[in-house]
Structure 1
Amino acid sequence: MRIYNHFVTILLGGLLAVGCQGSNENEALPQDRASLVMAASQSARVGQNATLQVEKIEDSRCPANVVCIRYGNVNVSYTLSQETESRQGILCLGDCGNGPQKTRDSTLVQLGSDRYQLVLTEVRPYPGTSPVEVKPEAVIQVKKF
């Protein structure tokens, strides 16, 4: 019985140690690089004094369970602001009109003396993959130079 008690104590102690270990999912990434998941009309702080807002997401990509003549695209309109200065733009994935299909889109934005690189890597869910209507979310990486 003593061996069983020692075994249970060690097992519970190990589980407690693993359970109390910090999760990296909600930790803030370093100031110069972050990956943000944002729906339309949401904003997030970038670094110490800039804010990125997704104004709207327009998704016209061909649904996963349909055969389409053209692939379609998704446009993400954004505003990047810092103090009294702001810049607006659009990031696009898919058939964006010039060149091959884009699987990621990036742009450089200058605000005062700071430069930011915005990279649209994904808009989820992909049309036709969710049985219920889900508000689309853009995954945007932000890097400050």
Structure 2
Amino acid sequence: MKRTILFALIWLSVMACDEKQNATPQPEPQSTSVPYRKQTKIAASGAGASGADLKVDLREVNDSRCPKDVVCIQMGSAKIKLNVSDATNSTEVNVDFKGDAKADSQAFTLSGQNYMLTVSELQPYPVSTQTPKIEDYKVNVTIEKK
């Protein structure tokens, strides 16, 4: 009886692994680092993205994240203001960055097209003994067409 159960578990494991290998991998959106006040081109990925280059400009960072050398009750967040533009229009996009991949996104519309802007990282991370200059900030951004 034990052999039958063991054989069944091994067979189920092999079948589960085999199914994952047949899955079609989804392309990962390309993250781009955007420095403060330096307009950066980003290719929008996603549904029907055909060479849609957008320009992103980091305008403002209000960083209240917990410094890495301090114990805090709350993790904090950083409010990031970006200006996104295409060949004809521009819009302001505000993201409340908490370091949570699911929550650090903001939908916006530019020239009638819907996009999702995701922030994956904000550097430098705060330290209690130093106050970074606004020019030191860089934000990693991904933009997808919806």
Normalised to the residue count of structure 1, the TM-score between the two structures is 0.61
* Residue of structure 2 in register with 1:54 after alignment: 58
User: CA 1:49/1:64 → structure 2, altered by over 3 Å: closer, same or farther?
Assistant: closer
8 Å Cα contact 2:34-2:56 kept in structure 1: no
8 Å Cα contact 1:92-1:120 kept in structure 2: no
8 Å Cα contact 1:80-1:87 kept in structure 2: yes
* Residue of structure 2 in register with 1:136 after alignment: 137
- Mean Cα displacement is larger for which, 70-79 or 42-51? 42-51
User: CA 1:81/1:132 → structure 2, altered by over 3 Å: closer, same or farther?
Assistant: closer
2: CA distance between counterparts of 1:34 and 1:53? 17
2: CA distance between counterparts of 1:129 and 1:42? 27
| Cα deviations by residue, 1:20-74 (Å, 9 ceiling, x for unpaired) | xxxxxxxxxx9xx431111221221133442111111221111111122432211
Unaligned runs of 5+ in 1: 1-29, 95-101
Provide the alpha-carbon RMSD of the alignment: 2.9
Where do residues 1-145 of structure 1 align in structure 2 (5 Å cutoff)? Answer: 33-47=29-43, 48-94=52-98, 103-104=100-101, 105-128=104-127, 135-145=136-146
2: CA distance between counterparts of 1:123 and 1:42? 15
Seq. identity, % = 23
Shift of 1:138: 0.9
How many residue pairs match? The answer is 108
| Cα deviations by residue, 1:3-28 (Å, 9 ceiling, x for unpaired) | xxxxxxxxxxxxxxxxxxxxxxxxxx
8 Å Cα contact 1:75-1:91 kept in structure 2: yes
Where 1:140 maps in the other structure, the secondary structure is strand
Unaligned runs of 5+ in 2: 1-26, 44-51
